[in-house]
A and B are shown apart, each in its own frame.
Chain A
């Protein structure tokens, strides 16, 4: 069998050493543990939309309100337009250059977030359970 580096198969290249695999297992274990922990914190109940500028809570609305909500959030570099309608929230306009916050699309699940970093705007969908409120504090 030719065991030169050139003849190594793709699976051999992808597998790494035992140390690498151990590190991967530790990382994945940490991620799964963290994910489960955060899901517990997120809680359930009615989905609420919190809109922040930095540390300041600008507004909170129910995600599934009867009427659409159009909120203009004053941020660091201008106004971000946020639309809550049909059980979804989205940033529809933003003064940032990359527009990644707009491209992030519509969010509808508890734990989803929209972030406009240049404008320092955070839109978070949370459950109205106590656990997530404690996390936000």
Chain B
């Protein structure tokens, strides 16, 4: 590529090199939505790390709401990528990248995302609430299995599992309710009056 110096006149008549095809508006919109959801998920991930926990590994899983929204709005592949990217970028902000906490978060998030994708596709009659419930349970189970396999090789660790699973089921259900509400609001068509107010704002 050549740049014209000031005062130069462009040569006319020579053929211009073909420019790369522009991405479609729909593709750009999809990327923008994914990035917006990622930033939201990272924000929730960081917020959760600052909250006082009920135990060494317990978090309410608020960031999973964003994964559920992405599952419905953007599709399974994008939701899985979002779950992984959220843990990696969030760990950079918190300062836990490649620590045991990060490995636990990543394994739990990937397991939860895969279980949620499978449940969403394969279980008839399930809603986002059931999907979130299964995701939360899978997240907790895989976190315990990861800790037992990699860090503290004691089966007695699983003694902690039932109470943690109980709380995970509760928060998973509530997160699913929140995700279903958000998706319902996002998919509702914009009413003309609201659109007019937005245009004037």
Contacts and interface: CB of A to CB of B under 8 A. Distances in A.
A24 interface: yes
Range for the number of chain B residues in contact with chain A? 35 or more
A118 B123 CA distance: 38
Given A19-B125, A24-B173, A5 B130 contact: no
B183 to A, nearest CB: 10
Interface in A95-137: 97-98, 100-101, 103-104, 111, 113, 115-118, 120-122, 124, 126, 132, 135-136
A9 interface: no
Contacts of A118: 99-101
A8 B125 CA distance: 19
Nearest to A19: B125
Given A42-B159, A104-B55, A19 B151 contact: no
Interface in A5-60: 5-6, 13-14, 16-20, 23-24, 27-28, 30-32, 34-35, 38, 41-42, 50, 52, 54-55
Range for the number of chain A residues in contact with chain B? 35 or more
A117 B162 contact: no
B126 A17 contact: yes
Contact of A54 (B129, B152, B155, B188): B152
Interface string A66-108: 0000000000000000000000000000000110110110000
Interface string B104-145: 100000000000000000011111011001100100000000
4 closest Cβ contacts across the A-B interface?
A20-B130, A19-B125, A35-B162, A16-B129
Interface of B: 52-53, 55-57, 95, 99-101, 104, 123-127, 129-130, 133-134, 137, 147, 151-163, 165-166, 169, 173, 176-177, 180-181, 184, 188
